[in-house]
Structures are given as C-alpha cells and as structure tokens.
Structure 1
Amino acid sequence: MANYQLTKDHDIATIWMDQPGSEVNTLSVKMLDEFSNLLDQIEQNNDIKAAVLISKKDHCFIAGADIKDLMAIEDSKAVENLSREGNKILMRLQNLKKPVIAAINGACLGGGLEVAMACHYRLATTDKKTVFGLPEIKLGLLPGGGGTQRLIKLTNLRFGLDALLTGKNIYPHSAKKAGLVDSLVHKEGLYQAALKIAANPIKRKPKKSSLVDKALNTSMGRNYVLKKARETVQRKTRGNYPAPLRILDCVETGLEHGMTAGLEAEAMGFGALHATPASKNLIGLFLAMQENKKLKNNNKTENVEALSMIGAGFMGAGITEVSIKNGYDVVLKDISNEGLASAMQTIWSDFTQMVKKKAMGAVERDRLMSKVKTTTQDDDLNGSDLVIEAVFEDIDLKQRILADVESRCKKSTVFATNTSSLPLANIAAKAAHPQNVVGMHYFSPVPKMPLLELIVTDKTSKKARQMATNVGIKQGKTVVVVKDGPGFYTTRVLSALTHEAIKVLHDGAKIEAVDAAMKDWGFPVGPLALMDEVGIDVGAHIARGALGEMFVNRGIEQDDTVQKLAEAKLFGRKAGKGFYTYPKKGRKSVNTDIYRYFGGEERKDMSNTDIQNRIGLIFVNECVHCLEEGILFSAKDGDLAAILGLGFPPFTGGPFSHIDATGADQVLATLQALEQQHGSRFAPAPLLVKHAENNQPFVK
C-alpha cells in the first residue's frame, strides 16, 4: 500500500502522507524510495508549478525515522549509506525548481523535521499537538538527514546547537521566532493557507539577527561558540556519550567546508554512532518505554472516570498537575484551605511558565485549572473510582485515611498510597478490601520524573492493578510493577548505594571525589549531592524503618551516621547545609565541618575505580537480590526503573544490561574481592553466581 497520495488542484500538486495501518507517519527506506518517485512526477509534469506536503494524520506530520527499521540493520556501513542516500533525496527536494510547501500539524520530529527543513517554505499550526525537534541525541545518534546543516542555516548557531545537543521539543511560536518555520496558522486553515502560499511567489521578510548573532557569524565567533560547546559537552557527558561531539564535528565541518562536506560527515557519523553500545542501549531504553505503553488496557471496567487526590503538599500538587494535564478531572482534598491554595498556586505557576514559553495558551491553562475541584470535605470523595493518597510517611495516618475512604466510597474504589518505603501490606493490614489497595510511588518533581513504581501485594486484584496502571500511563508515566517489600525496588537499591557512599566517606574519601567518581561512571548527580537534595532526614527516616531492619537481618551492619546528621539538623539543601553548604547567592561548596562525623578533616586520595566498584556494584548486586526475591518481575523492568527513577547510567542500558555487557563472571569476581576486603555486604547474590556459572544473560 502506498504511503503517499498525489492530487492536483489546478497547477498545485498536493502530496498527502498517510502511512497505512499506523497512527503516525514514520520515515523508512520504503517511504524515501516512494518520495523520490513523487519528486520525479512533480519535476517532469509541466502542469505542476508548486507542491504542498501535508499529512492526513490528525496529530502527526512525520514522527521521525522508524527506529525498529534502523535497529534491524546490523551493518553500520549500510546505515551510513542509508543516511547518504536519504540526503541525496532531500538535496533533490531542496534544489527542486518548483517550490514545495511543508504544511505541518502535529509532531514534526527527527527525520520529519529534516524533510520539512529541505522544503522551500514551512507553514505550521498553533495546535497544542504541533511540536518540532531533533531528538536523535537521546538515542545516542545524530540527525542523519541534513539536520546538523539546515537547522543552523535556518536559525542561528546558538539556537541550532541548543536544539541539536539537547534534543528538546520546540513549540510553534518559538520555531517561528527562531526562523525554523516561516508562518503560523490555525489548524483548520492549514491546507487552504498552504495552497495560497504555493500559488504565489514565496516572500520572506529579511532575517533579523541580534548583535550577538552577527558577532558569532564570523569565523572567530563560530570557533569560540564551538570551543565552549565542546567544553560543556565534555563536562556534562564525561566522555560517556559519543554523539554530542560527533554532532559538533558535523556542524563545524559544514560551517568551514560547506554543506556537501557537512552532509558527508553526517553520514559517516550516523553510521559510526549506530555501532556504539551507547546508542544500542539508548535505543533499547526508548523501545522499552514505547512497549510499556501497551500495558494500558481499555477495558471499560478498568478505566477510571472519577479520580481523587488526598493531600495537597508538593507531591499531591504534582500528581494533580499531571492528571489534569492528561485528561482527568480531579477532586483535590486537604485538611486546610491554605494547603489547597498553595497546591493550586504551584500548578498555576508551572502552567504559567509553559504559557510564557508559548508551549501552552492562556485559555488552555485556565481550562486545565478548572478541572480541579478543591475541598476540605470528606464527602466529596464518595463517588471516586480511584483515590490517590500522598500524606506524610506515617503508617497510622495512612491506615486511618484508608479506613475512612473504605467507609464512604464504593466497594470497588481502588485506594493508592504514594509511599516510597512503607510496606504496602502494613498499610493495608486493617483494610476491609485489601484487594483494592495498591502503592503508586511517584518521583519528585512529579511533572518531570518519568517513572511510576506501582506496588502490588499477593492480595491486590488484577483489576486494581490494571486501573492504577491505566491511570499512570495516561498521566504520561512509564509504569513498572513491583512486588511489595521493604523499600520496594527503587528505594531499596538506592539505600544500598547511599549506605555504601557513607562507608566510603568513613574510609577517608573526599565528598567531592565520591560524587565526581559516580558522575564519571554515568550518574547525573553524585550520591552525596543526591542525599542533600532528597533530604538527609528523609534518608534517616527510611533507615529507621522496615528497610533498615531487612538489611540488618541479612547481616549488613547499619551505620548510624545519617541519624546523627539528621539530629544535628544537617538536612541538606532545604536546611542550607548537609554534605555541601548552599549559600543564598553563589555556588554550593563542600561542607568540611561534616567530616567530624567521618573521622576528621584529614582525607586521603581514593581511586575512581575503587569508589565506582564499591558504590556502583553494591547497587547492581542489590538489584539482582530484588529479581531473585520476586520484587522485580523481570530484569528489563529493573533496568527501566533504575534508569528512569534513579538516574542509573542510561548509556549502559541499566544494571542488568551492565552485568551482561561486563560479564556476570567479571562482576562476580569484583564483588568477591570486595567481600574479602570490606565484608559480607558485598556477598554476591546467589542468582548472580548462577548466571556467572552458566554464562547466562539477564536481559534476553
């Protein structure tokens, strides 16, 4: 079946894109070949003076390349040639004597944006679903269809580099202001406006450049920007991600030697990056996140119509925000009107930031805000299908709230507790309907963090589990289901990591050396800086509970230093002081006073490898324990949750993929050496021993 349909209105041709059997259009080898044939027809037909390229899909122009298509190609030379051939077709489009107008509504991403940029004019809608971007860097790749060349030419060096190196979304008004698109129109008038533009000679206002951009358009200015960009990339990626530097190489080649040379550098870079483990792992992560959406079930009995939220603190506000933004009406209940007002102000501020960035209209913001009903009255919860509770981590309080919800709501109402460490079985111990109780562990800040850890017990019904899953996916989260237990999965493995970071400090390491080593290993922040962000008092509270008891029962001696730090009110950032000090102005710095809890200020040098093996592998080993005990349902779930919830190095593919890549036998040998040196907390999980002996991978 054809991906394109060519129609003709007088002397204007229209290319309708409509990939059969798919909600979106994606670029593939087949599509590019068909497109090349269409260009032949347009070129050879003297009755055609101009063309409009438009999609028949509701919310998609072209969503990018078909990733599975790309992954199926094993030979990187073939991938390099694919880029080269694609660029030839897009150069044909760019050089076509007849103007082609890209009429864009919905997602115009990756290869889709590269096609649009090769057209002679870009008209886009202001619809909220319209978005532009070159997200290839998130897959460990670079744009392979001229993106590194045309984006800079259409916009400017600063804007182009920012878009290329972040892969961020660009919304219509920002795209227009930068020069990425030529004009904007309401969705309903897109096709007629495109035909009108195609019927007349294209007129553009001269591009305005700021004084800064004019300065940067000189050879000296460009070199300065590229040099600074390389320094920033090296500082942020610490050599773990090859794609950003390749992108900079392509941009520089194009600026210095022209577009043909830039496109050749792009093709070679595209092939080379495709062969890297980092790209394979990042693409695997992307596909796993896409696959995760299929957990959603549209069975009517498992859908949630009436959603309520108890607790209007920071977490409650965040959960409410992602709920209303993704289609739910929410009853938000708190014990005080002040708490409700604060939550509404938080949501309003977040939406207003989006309005300022032109990512949302003011009318849309007001409409979304109207979807929240705030209340202090318990009776307003009575009609709920699902109630999410986000109050303090206090077992008695959570049990009382659950009992009250059960007394007033339907027998089928699902109760979801947002807890990071309290065992779900304890919260549901006195429940009348324990089959309706689940845990929904959101991560802070909720609007930005992509993971939802969904906790179930042996008593949780399939229906309750599916209802909570449906809500999480609709909220835009990647949902990983785990079995109940102390700390579940993420809090438990993170506690193992931070506990070892404390041990490393006791052994004389410097605070900044610990954090730097783990950032070099691939974590976005070091473990001690993370403890400051989460709150050292929070870590102390968790260590006092069931999770601490579990580690003690396993023969792992618990350190009371975190308790002492909490008692001294060294809570971290919120207190202005923890492992670092946080002045009101200026950068944070190491709090050397804290060393008195770790044997004094005299510190010693410890190698990066020693720090990384101790902290990184104790984390990985704990992940294996979770899989062995059935806390995790699969190694893939463990990889996904560790990356999305805890920042485990994405380029590795996750802790289980890291074991597979390193070799289970090698990880086992390192842990055994650490056990000899530091004690039983490094005892390898029996499942790891088994996989090492059988040379068996965790992720199939």
Structure 2
Amino acid sequence: MASSIFTTFLCRQQRFLALTRSPVTAQLYTRLASTSVPQPPQTKTDLQHLKNLKVEYQDGIAVVQFSQENSKVNTLSRGMMDEFIPLFDHLQNDDKVKGIVVISAKPGSFIAGADINMLESAKSRDELFKISRNGQEIMNNIEQSRKPIVAAIAGSCLGGGFEVALACHYRIALNDKRTGFGVPEIKLGLLPGAGGTQRLVQKLSLPDALDLVLTGKEIKVKKAKSMGLVDDIVEPIGPGLQPTEQKNIDYLRSVAVQKAKDLTVRKPTKKEPGLVESIKSKIMSSSYVQNYIFQQATKKVMSQTQGLYPAPLKILDVIKQTVASGSKVGYNAEAEGFADLGMTTESKALISLFHGRTECKKNKYGKPVKEVKNVAVLGAGLMGAGIAHVSIDKGYNVILRDMTSKALSRGYTQISKGYQNYVKRKRITTAEYDNILSNLECQTTLANFGKCDMIIEAVFEDLQLKQKVLAEIEQNIPEHCVFASNTSALPIHQIAANSRRPEKVVGMHYFSPVDKMELLEIVRAKKTSDDTIRSAVSVGLKQGKVVIVVGDGPGFYTTRLLMFAGAEVFRLLQEGATPKDIDRATKKFGFPVGSATLFDEVGIDVAAHIARDMQTVFGARLGDSSMPQLFQDLVKNNLCGRKTGQGLYIYQAGVKGGDREINPKFTELIKNYSKEAKEKTTMENIQWRTGLRFLNEAARCLEEQIITSPTDGDIGAVFGLGFPPMKGGPFRFIDTYGVSNIVDLMNKHRNTYDERFAPTQLLVDMAKDNKKFYS
C-alpha cells in the first residue's frame, strides 16, 4: 500500500490544497480584519511606542520596517495595521518626509499574509464585506499617496502582503530563494479582497492574471520581473547566510532609499509598449477573445474541481465584471465575492485544514535525547529511494542499502533524476545538486551501520521478512539507534515481536511518491518509547512532512479507513454497479480519483493481502467472508490493476481516465460473487454507502485512540487518502452535516442493509448530547 497508494490524481489535489512547504509561507494569507480605519494619533507620543513597526529617517526618506511583535514572520495583524495606518498618515503630513520605503526587519518575510484568526472572528457576511472594503481603502490610500512609496522586498510577499506591494509605486526585490510572490487565497476558499484582483488585471494580461489568482501559485523574483510585477531586482552580495544576509538586506534598503529619492524628483515613467505588446493588447481588448479566455478558464476549473469549490468560479465572475465594466464595479464585486466566500462551508473547511496542517508541522513531542544525524534506508525500491531523496537535502548522512548492485543503481537513478529535475526548474544550482548527492552512500553491505542513529526499513510488505531484517540489523547497530518500519498495515508490535529492544521500534508509513506526498503516519506500538517517538517525529518534520502519530493495529488509521470504504465499493460491484458508476459518484463527492480506479492504482494484489489480514481481525464488520476470496480470484487471474495492465479496467498506452474500458474479465468474474441489491444503485446511494463506512471508521479510530484528535484524523484522511478538502476531513464533515443527521443515516442504512452500518458508540453519545468534534 505504501508503495503505490498515491497517484498523479492525489498529487494534483495536494498541489491545489497543500500550501508551500516553507515555514514562512505557511503563515497564510487572509484579509485585513478591522472593520473601520483607526483614527490617526493625536500626539507624537503615540508613535513612540510602536511594537510592530520601526521607523528610521535617511536623507528625507522614511524607512518603515515591518517587525511584528512575538513572531518570526510579518503578518497583517490587527496590531500591525493599528500602527501602520496612523504612522502612514503622520508621514504623509510630515513636510520633512519626501518619500517612504517599506521593508521588513525579519529575515525571509516581507509580509507573509494576515492572521487567519481575524477572518474567522467575523460573525456575518456584512462584517466580511466591511473587512474587504477597509482593506481596499487602505491599499488605495497607499497607491494614491502624493509621496512616492517604494517596497523593498526580501522574503515571502504573499496574499495581503503582495497586495501591499502592488499598491506601492515601485517594487524592488532581492533575488534569493525565499523571495516569492503570490495570492494563495484560493487555497483557503477565498479571493484576494483588498484590491488584488483589480491590480493584477491592470498590471497583467488577462490569461496571466487568471493563472495567478486561480492557481494561487508562488512565483519567484525573475518571473515576477518579466511579468512586470517587480520593477527592479537586487542580486545578493553573498550566499545568503549570516552575516551576509544582513548585508544583502542593507544593500536592498540602500537601493530602495535611492530610488525613493529619485522618485521625489521625477515620477516613474511608464514604459511604452513595443509593437508585439501593442498587438497583444489590441487582441486582448477584443470582447470575443476575452469571452473565449473566460470560457476556457471555466472549462478547466470545472474539469479540475467538479464545480465543488466556489472560489474559482467566484473569482472568474469578479474578474469578468471588472473587464466588462471597469474597476469601480470590479472593486465592489471583489468585496461582495470575498464576503460570499468567507461564509461558505468550503472556506471554513479549508481554513480548518490550514490550521490542522500548521499544527501537524509543529513538534509537539520535544527533542530526542540524541539527535539523528546518520540514517540508513533498507531497500532501494520506489519507497526506499523516495525516503532517501527527502533526507539527503536535509543535512542527513544517508546510507541506501539493498541486496544487489542492480537494485541500488535503479534507486540512485531515481534519486538523481529527481534532483536533476530540480536543477532544470532552477530550484537548485548544479553545485547544490552535487553537494546534496554527496550525502548519499549506496552499498550492499552493512558497513558503517554502527554509526547510524536511525534505520528506516522499506522492504517488501511481508511480516516474516521484516522480522528477519530487524533481527539482522539489531546485530549491527548501536543501542540508541531507532528502527523504523515503512509499512502501511502490518502491526508494529508484530514486527517487533522478537526484538531485543522493542522500545526502539516504530512505524513510519510514508506515501508514494515520497518527494511529493506530505503525510507521514508515525505508528506507536505499546512498547515504543517516548524518546523513539521524538526521534521519528523530528526526522519526519525535518524531511518536510506533515506528521500524525497513530496507534498500532491492522491498517493503523489511513489504510484502515481505505479498506472499510473499499469493502463497500466491492459490495456495490457485487450488486451490479459498474466501476464507472463508482468512479463517477465518488469523484462527484470530491475525491481526486474514483474509488474503483483507486484499487487499480493501489494494486489489487496489495489490497488482497491487507484484506485477508484485516478480515481476520474485524470480521463481518469489515465485509462478508467472500471479500478476501474475491480479491484472491482477481489476483489469480492476473487482474492486479495498472501494474499488470488490467484490473477493474484495461490499461492501454494513450487511453486515459474515463475513456478506459471496463475489463470484461472483471465483469465476468464478479458475477461469481453477485449479491442482490436491496435498493436502487444511484449516485447518492453510492456516495452515502461508501462515505458512511469511511466516516464511521474514522470516528471508531478516535474512540479506540488509534488517533488522538479530530485534527489528526482530518489531516490523515485529506493528505493521506484524498478525502475532499472542501469538506475539511471526516470529522469536520460530520460536524457540518450534523452528528445526529449522520447517526440517523447510519441507522437507516443499518436497517436496510446490516450491522456493518451500525454507528459507533462515540457518535451515538455525541448525537444524544448534541456535541461536535470541533467547538
């Protein structure tokens, strides 16, 4: 399961949902939250106690430094804005000040956005509308300043921070890795609400503006310059490390101050468009071309989102109104759209996921007694090579060990190609590539294992094999060394059954492809020590993962949910539903890949192995006794899924998605296991039957303390299984739909079908007491 559960489909969904991996840019991206503009200070004394801003004066230029109190990054917090607005008014009225530079006093962060908690505090649509209007007014005041304002940008310039920069008269950016621009509000189910949609349409071509706002992607400095979003670039003096970093900021500041001084003499001249640009502009001004662009954008949005996310469609509507009727209408449409989206359950769900993801990127367990520096990965297959890939650029010395040189060669090729792709995309330099690969040692022996702090085993999913590997490795590693098994379903206590130090054995369930999938499910057995958990969590977070710690047991959390929902999928197939019926219904519910196709992607042979073990433990609650045999028959007939070219579907080169043919061999074989349908199989019937099994088992895992919180459950389900992000995860969805309503539906299905739909006691008790998972 760990080697194949995640496909391109889930990668796409995570790219839409998952925010950038930088801890700076994870401080996302909402609008200003005060509903009225604070009054200017009455005395100079008010400006002597600034907590979030610093002001210095140089040759008639006021240098305003953002320096948010008690924070590693700058955000547009209420405190920041309560100081900025009166300070801005003061500088406008100070005759000694000829121009203004805005810059950050914090490394790596110009302004990373604003405090989401402020947005969540809004109680009504009217309040959200006022928040947007207030933000627009502030940005318009900056733009209309009679004194030139230069933005000196180093670090993340995102969301509301980007809108501040766009409102300034001139933008100068430091060309380093941490400087990036974007409006990622769409990832929270919102749109830029402080004039961002309007200024981007003014500054960019319509396709470029739509691309930036609809994807929420971050662009780097040179790309921003080529698009006209940055006016000038400052190259770093050195490699970007202290103390050079401060020198770079000082240099950026000096360039910005000089530019502000120049602009006090002459305003920035707008570059006259060349012939090509003039022709492009003329073409883009055609209503026919504009309508075509909007039609294509709408078509793409619907294809990618199934129409389940309100924000992209609302953004298209706002920009369409702007293009058709001008910015006066556009600003109002933006504020209306912001208010509408802020009240949607989809936005609230996505914001909940943002909070959950942020929480799961923190170390709640503390530092281990001995820091992990040297890591060995056992098995150079897809998973093992992937684990090595995400470790060698994080400061770890990594040994990749396999039994044969041929296997090692394949693993090394996979890793090196991944980093070569980073070089092509200019994420790293050739020198950095060489340095990263130097941290990897490939070998067929156990040499130097005595120096390892952690072993991550990624061999074939077989209990006896994993036990054998552990026994061998324990003879060659120091006492402090942690042994982590990358398994998707095998109980950790069974793997450690013969270990002489079971307290050092832990599960680390990675998801494939490891370099793209963020989730790491760390599995704690009863004998696993606290310090072992601290080591595993520390390594996972350093590898850039979103980490949840779960209890031991068959399938742990993610695989267990997948198999319970999957059991209902196969029951529906036995009742006459087709794989395409299943896929249409589950994709329409919001999953990135249909639940029938998912089994072909996972590998039916893998599912058969897991189903057999889980059926032994869970019995009829999972499914009737025919299910493991059905899986075995599929495997015997070589219907293992994509890997063998046939499963529920037939896989042929060039044939994609809905065009694939249902496998006639599967259609014939499933007849041997046919069941009578007790209700008509409709799209809604498929969605609720599979969905209720998923939701109920998630609640049962919380009840059994397999997971410790609804947050971990939602993060695991969304980032691990592709549960629809716009629904926030199973626990957020249950809250939104109503616990009592879910219990009633389960009881209805229980009466129609059987006890497999019986609601878990936790849900029954919560319904009785009218409780929610989230307050």
Q: TM-score range by the shorter chain?
A: over 0.9
CA contact (8 A) 2:715 2:729 kept: yes
| Cα distance in 2, alignment partners of residues 213 and 413 from structure 1 | 64
Matched, 1:419 2:501: no
Matched ranges for 1:585-596 at <5 A: 585-588=654-657, 589-593=660-664, 594-596=666-668
For 2:760, the equivalent position in structure 1 comes to 685
Are the structure 2 counterparts of residues 555 and 655 from structure 1 closer, same or farther at C-alpha, using a change threshold of 3 Å?
A: closer
Matched ranges for 1:177-196 at <5 A: 177-187=226-236, 188=248, 189-196=251-258
Matched, 1:511 2:579: yes
For 2:619, the equivalent position in structure 1 comes to 552
What is the aligned-residue RMSD (CA, Å)? Answer: 2.4
Matched, 1:598 2:670: yes
1:277 to 318, 334, 345: 345
For 1:313, the equivalent position in structure 2 comes to 381
Deviation at 1:681, TM superposition (A): 2.1
| Cα distance in 2, alignment partners of residues 84 and 555 from structure 1 | 53
Deviation at 1:155, TM superposition (A): 2.8
Q: After the TM superposition, which of the residue ranges 407-416 and 66-75 deviates more from structure 2? A: 66-75
1:632 to 707, 710, 714: 707
CA contact (8 A) 1:296 1:473 kept: no
1:11 to 36, 39, 60: 60
| Cα distance in 2, alignment partners of residues 192 and 349 from structure 1 | 41
For 1:35, the equivalent position in structure 2 comes to 84
Q: State the one-letter code of the partner of 1:468.
A: A
Matched ranges for 1:39-438 at <5 A: 39-187=88-236, 188=248, 189-201=251-263, 202=268, 215-296=283-364, 299=367, 301=369, 303-438=371-506
Q: After the TM superposition, which of the residue ranges 644-653 and 69-78 deviates more from structure 2? A: 69-78
CA contact (8 A) 2:388 2:400 kept: yes
Q: State the one-letter code of the partner of 1:191.
A: R
Deviation at 1:44, TM superposition (A): 2.8
For 2:568, the equivalent position in structure 1 comes to 500
Deviation at 1:489, TM superposition (A): 0.8
Are the structure 2 counterparts of residues 381 and 192 from structure 1 closer, same or farther at C-alpha, using a change threshold of 3 Å?
A: farther
Q: State the one-letter code of the partner of 1:640.
A: I
Q: State the one-letter code of the partner of 2:121.
A: A
CA contact (8 A) 1:627 1:634 kept: yes
Q: State the one-letter code of the partner of 1:590.
A: E
Deviation at 1:207, TM superposition (A): 5.7
For 2:39, the equivalent position in structure 1 comes to none
For 1:465, the equivalent position in structure 2 comes to 533
Are the structure 2 counterparts of residues 677 and 57 from structure 1 closer, same or farther at C-alpha, using a change threshold of 3 Å?
A: same
| Cα distance in 1, alignment partners of residues 344 and 567 from structure 2 | 33
Q: State the one-letter code of the partner of 1:441.
A: H
Q: State the one-letter code of the partner of 2:118.
A: D
The number of residue pairs the alignment matches comes to 699
Deviation at 1:114, TM superposition (A): 1.0
Deviation at 1:540, TM superposition (A): 1.6
Matched, 1:444 2:512: yes
| Cα distance in 2, alignment partners of residues 336 and 103 from structure 1 | 54
CA contact (8 A) 2:102 2:150 kept: yes
| Cα distance in 2, alignment partners of residues 531 and 214 from structure 1 | 51
Deviations 1:205-250 (A, max 9, x none): 5567677776344222111111222222233323322111111122
SS of the aligned residue for 1:378 comes to coil
SS of the aligned residue for 1:145 comes to coil
For 2:631, the equivalent position in structure 1 comes to 562
SS of the aligned residue for 2:70 comes to coil
CA contact (8 A) 2:615 2:623 kept: no
Q: State the one-letter code of the partner of 1:643.
A: V
| Cα distance in 2, alignment partners of residues 367 and 259 from structure 1 | 50
Q: State the one-letter code of the partner of 2:562.
A: L
Matched, 1:491 2:559: yes
| Cα distance in 2, alignment partners of residues 339 and 109 from structure 1 | 43
SS of the aligned residue for 1:61 comes to strand
Deviation at 1:512, TM superposition (A): 1.6
Deviation at 1:103, TM superposition (A): 1.6
| Cα distance in 1, alignment partners of residues 273 and 561 from structure 2 | 53
| Cα distance in 2, alignment partners of residues 697 and 101 from structure 1 | 49
Deviation at 1:297, TM superposition (A): 5.0
For 2:651, the equivalent position in structure 1 comes to 582
Deviation at 1:372, TM superposition (A): 1.9
Q: State the one-letter code of the partner of 1:247.
A: I
Are the structure 2 counterparts of residues 650 and 324 from structure 1 closer, same or farther at C-alpha, using a change threshold of 3 Å?
A: same
Deviation at 1:13, TM superposition (A): 2.5
Q: State the one-letter code of the partner of 2:721.
A: L
For 2:750, the equivalent position in structure 1 comes to 675
Deviation at 1:203, TM superposition (A): 5.8
Are the structure 2 counterparts of residues 555 and 288 from structure 1 closer, same or farther at C-alpha, using a change threshold of 3 Å?
A: closer
Deviation at 1:480, TM superposition (A): 0.9
| Cα distance in 2, alignment partners of residues 533 and 255 from structure 1 | 43
Deviation at 1:149, TM superposition (A): 1.8
Are the structure 2 counterparts of residues 394 and 2 from structure 1 closer, same or farther at C-alpha, using a change threshold of 3 Å?
A: same
Comparing both chains, which one has the higher relative contact order based on Cα–Cα distances under 8 Å and sequence gaps of 6 or more?
Answer: 2
Are the structure 2 counterparts of residues 342 and 693 from structure 1 closer, same or farther at C-alpha, using a change threshold of 3 Å?
A: same
Deviations 1:516-548 (A, max 9, x none): 11111121111111112222222122223x223
Deviations 1:561-612 (A, max 9, x none): 2322222222222333322333222424132412112339x99983111011
Q: After the TM superposition, which of the residue ranges 184-193 and 110-119 deviates more from structure 2? A: 184-193
| Cα distance in 1, alignment partners of residues 82 and 704 from structure 2 | 51
Matched, 1:23 2:72: yes
Deviation at 1:393, TM superposition (A): 0.6
| Cα distance in 1, alignment partners of residues 93 and 696 from structure 2 | 65
| Cα distance in 2, alignment partners of residues 671 and 298 from structure 1 | 40
Q: After the TM superposition, which of the residue ranges 400-409 and 209-218 deviates more from structure 2? A: 209-218
For 2:5, the equivalent position in structure 1 comes to none
Query: Which stretches in structure 1 are left out of the alignment for 5+ residues?
Result: none
Deviations 1:394-443 (A, max 9, x none): 22221122122221211111111000011111100010100000000011
Are the structure 2 counterparts of residues 399 and 70 from structure 1 closer, same or farther at C-alpha, using a change threshold of 3 Å?
A: same
Q: After the TM superposition, which of the residue ranges 120-129 and 551-560 deviates more from structure 2? A: 551-560
Deviation at 1:113, TM superposition (A): 0.9
2:641 to 564, 572, 576: 572
Q: After the TM superposition, which of the residue ranges 401-410 and 83-92 deviates more from structure 2? A: 401-410
CA contact (8 A) 2:318 2:330 kept: yes
For 2:18, the equivalent position in structure 1 comes to none
Deviations 1:623-651 (A, max 9, x none): 12222222122222212211111111222
Q: State the one-letter code of the partner of 1:687.
A: L
CA contact (8 A) 1:109 1:132 kept: yes
Percent identical residues: 42
| Cα distance in 2, alignment partners of residues 336 and 150 from structure 1 | 58
Deviation at 1:461, TM superposition (A): 0.4
Are the structure 2 counterparts of residues 178 and 357 from structure 1 closer, same or farther at C-alpha, using a change threshold of 3 Å?
A: farther
